[in-house]
Amino acid sequence: MADPATATAAHAPLTRVVLGVTGGIAAYKAAELARLFVKAGVAVDVVMTGAATRFVTPMTFQALTGRPVATDLWTSGASNAMDHIEITRGADLVVVAPASADFIARLAHGRADDLLSTLCLARECPLLVAPAMNVQMWSNAATQRNVKRIADDGIAILGPGSGDQACGETGDGRMLEAQEIFDAVVASRVPRVLAGRSVLVTAGPTFEAIDPVRGITNASSGKMGFALARAAAEAGADVTLVAGPTSLPTPAGVDRIDVVSAAEMADAVFARADRCDVFVAVAAVADYRPVQVHAHKVKKRAEPMTLALEPTVDILASVAARPNAPFCVGFAAESQDVVKLGEDKRRRKKVAMLVANRAQDALGADDNQVTILDDSGAHALPRADKLVLARRLIAEIAARLPGR
Ligand SMILES: Cc1cc2nc3c(=O)[nH]c(=O)nc-3n(C[C@H](O)[C@H](O)[C@H](O)COP(=O)(O)O)c2cc1C
C-alpha cells in the first residue's frame, strides 16, 4: 500500500528520485532521508560527491536503498557509461541534501566537474537543494549570491534552518531535518491550485474556563485542521491557521495564531475574514461557555453544583453572513444521521460546502471517512489518512472557487 505521505489523488505520485549527497557533516542525515523515501515506496538512486564519501560510506546508502550508489563520473554503474545523463532520465526529481557551499557555487556557475554536478546540469526534471553549512559560510556574500542565482535559475531551495551547529556555533545554515525535506519534496509535487489565494483555517478544540484551573473542552485533536492548513500551503495558498489548544507542530509555511476560548477564536477569525478568499472552519468550537468564570479555584462542597452556560458566537455562520464573505467550508462531526444533520447545518449556516463526518471516527484519529455536501448533493470520499483527505479536500475546494 502507498504511504499516506505521498499517496493522494490530488498530486503527482513519486516513483523514483535521485538523492545527491555532498560533503558536509549533515551527510549522515541523508541516510534518514533515503529511508523515508524507501518507506514511502519511492525508488532512490543515490549519487555522492567524493567529499560526501569521506563523511558517510556509499555502502550505507546502498544497504538502505537496495540500489547501487554512483560516485564517479568515469565509472559507469547501471548505464552504458553515460551515468551523468542516464541517472536522471525518468526520475521525478533530483534532491541534493546536504548541499555544500562548494556544490551550490558549482551549480551557480554551471560547473560539471564531477558526476553530481554534471547530472544536475544534464537533468530535465526539477532540482531541489537543502543547504547545510556553518553560519558564516551561509551568510557570506559569495554564498548568498550563489543561492540567489540558482533560485533565479528555478532551483528550489529547502531551508536552511537555524539553530545549534555541529561546529559549535549557532545561527542559519543548519540543514532541515530529513522529515522536513521529505515533506517539502512531496509538497513540490502538489499542483499549485491555490497559488495567489489566501486561506484561513481554524483547528482544534476550544477551552472555556470555569475557574483558573478548570474548563470545558472536547476531544478534537486538531489533526484534520492542521492537515488542511498544510495541504492548502502545499497548493500554494497564503495560509493562516487559528489553532485552539493543541501541541501539534505548525505546518511548514503556515502562519499560526494560538487561541484558547471560542471568543478568542472568533476575534482572530473576524479580524482576518475580510482578507481571505477561503475560510475553512474545522475547529470544534464550544457551543456553550460558563456564564461566570470564577477568579479563584472553586472549592468542592457536599451539595450538587449547577453550572450556568451561555451560547458562544457562531463563527462560521457569522463569516458566511458577511457581505463579501469568503468561500466558506464547514465541518460537521455528528454521532448519528451524519449526512442529514450535516446538510441541515450547511443550510442553516448558509455555506457552499460542508464536510460531514462521524464524531466517533473522526476525533483524535489519524484517518477519517467524510462526505462532502454541496448544492449538488452528497459525495462520499473513501476512508483515508487525514493528510491524504486534506489534499483531496483542497483540490475539491479549488475546483469550486469562483473566478478560477
Ligand atoms: C569536517 C568537515 C566538515 C565540513 N562540513 C561542511 C558543511 O557542513 N557544509 C559545507 O558546505 N562544507 C563543509 N565542509 C567543506 C566541504 O566538505 C568542502 O567544501 C568540499 O570541497 C565539498 O565538496 P562537494 O561539494 O563536492 O561535496 C566540511 C569540511 C570538513 C573537513
* Better pLDDT: 78 or 110: 110
Nearest Cα residue to atom 30 of ligand 1: 24
Q: Determine how many CB atoms are found less than 10 A away from the CB of residue 50.
A: 13
User: Measured between alpha carbons, how far is 351 from 397 in angstroms, rounded to an integer?
Assistant: 12
**pTM listed for this prediction:** 0.79
Same domain, 75 and 150: yes
With CA atoms as reference, report the closest residue to 232 among 265, 270, 187: 187
User: Looking at ligand 1, which residue's alpha carbon is closest to its atom 11?
Assistant: 100
In this structure, are 173 and 231 located in the same domain?
Answer: no
Atom of ligand 1 nearest to the CA of 175: 8
The total number of structural domains in the chain stands at: 2
Q: How far is the CA of 155 from the centre of ligand 1 (A)?
A: 21
- Rounded to the nearest angstrom, the distance between the alpha carbon of 125 and the centre of ligand 1 is 26
Do 177 and 242 belong together in one domain? Answer: no
Beta-carbon contacts of 283 under 8 Å, excluding residues fewer than 6 positions away, are 202, 203, 204, 205, 206, 220, 222, 225, 242, 243, 244, 265, 315
One domain, residues 178 and 202? no
98 vs 361, higher pLDDT: 98
Of ligand 1's listed atoms, the one at least distance from the Cα of 137 is 11
- How far, in Å, CA of 200 to CA of 160, rounded? 27
* Lowest model confidence (mean pLDDT) among 26-35, 68-77, 233-242: 68-77
pLDDT beyond 70 at 189: yes
Q: Ligand 1: distance of its center to the CA of 123 in Å? A: 24
User: 331 in a domain, yes or no?
Assistant: yes
Average pLDDT over residues 346-359: 92
Query: What is the structure's pLDDT at 360?
Result: 74
* Residue 7 confidence (pLDDT) above 70: no
> Which residue's alpha carbon is at the smallest distance from atom 5 of ligand 1?
24
279 and 157 housed in the same domain: no
> Which atom from ligand 1 is nearest to the alpha carbon of 166?
8
Is the per-residue pLDDT at 170 higher than 90?
no
Is the pLDDT at 404 greater than 70, yes or no? no
Statement to judge: residues 215 and 147 lie in one domain: no
Please check whether residues 213 and 183 belong to one and the same domain.
no
Instruction: Name the band, by pLDDT with cuts 50, 70 and 90, for residue 76.
Output: low
Answer yes or no: do 18 and 161 share one domain.
yes
Is 353 inside a domain boundary? yes
Peptide bond into 98 cis (omega under 30): yes
- Residue 205 is classified by DSSP as B
pLDDT digits over 255-308, tens only?
999 999 999 999 999 999 999 999 999 999 999 999 999 999 999 999 999 999
Question: What domain range is 179 assigned to?
Answer: 4-187
pLDDT in tens, 93-125: 999 999 999 999 999 999 999 999 999 999 999
pLDDT at 321: 96
83, with CB counted inside 10 A (0-12, 13-18, 19+), is buried
Supply the pLDDT for residue 85.
78
Q: What residues line ligand 1, using a CB cutoff of 6 Å?
A: 22-26, 49, 51-52, 100-103, 132-133, 137
Spatial contact of 194 and 232, defined as CB atoms under 8 Å apart:
yes
pLDDT category at 79 given cuts 50, 70, 90 is low
pLDDT of 2 > 60? The answer is: no
In a domain, 244, yes or no: yes
What CATH number is associated with residue 347? 3.40.50.10300
Of 134, 154, 187, which residue is a domain's last?
187
Average confidence score pLDDT of the chain? 92
Atom of ligand 1 minimally distant from the CA of 100 = 11
pLDDT tens digits for 205-241?
999 999 999 999 999 999 999 999 999 999 999 999 9
Structure confidence at residue 236 (pLDDT): 93
Assess whether 149 and 252 both reside in one domain.
no
Residues 276 and 377 in one domain: yes
Regarding predicted confidence, which is higher, 384 or 13? 384
Check which CATH number belongs to the domain holding 103 and give it.
3.40.50.1950
Query: Of all protein residues, whose CA lies closest to atom 16 belonging to ligand 1?
Result: 23
More confident: 333 or 279: 279
Rounded distance from Cα 106 to ligand 1 centre (Å):
13
Instruction: Round to whole Å and give the CA distance between 65 and 39.
Output: 10
Contacts of residues 322-327 at CB distance under 8 Å and 24 or more positions apart, as own/partner, are: 322/273, 322/274, 324/274, 325/273, 325/279, 326/200, 326/273, 326/276, 326/277, 326/278, 326/279, 327/277, 327/278, 327/279, 327/352, 327/353, 327/397, 327/400, 327/401, 327/402
Residue 78 is predicted with a pLDDT of 56
**Catalytic position from the list 125, 167, 276, 328:** 167
Q: Are 250 and 381 found together in one domain?
A: yes
Instruction: Assess whether 167 carries a catalytic annotation.
Output: yes
Whether 365 has a pLDDT exceeding 50, the answer reads yes
| Cα(159)–Cα(99) distance, integer angstroms | 11
SS (H, E, C) 105-121: HHHHCCCCCCHHHHHHH
What local confidence, expressed as pLDDT, does residue 169 receive? 79
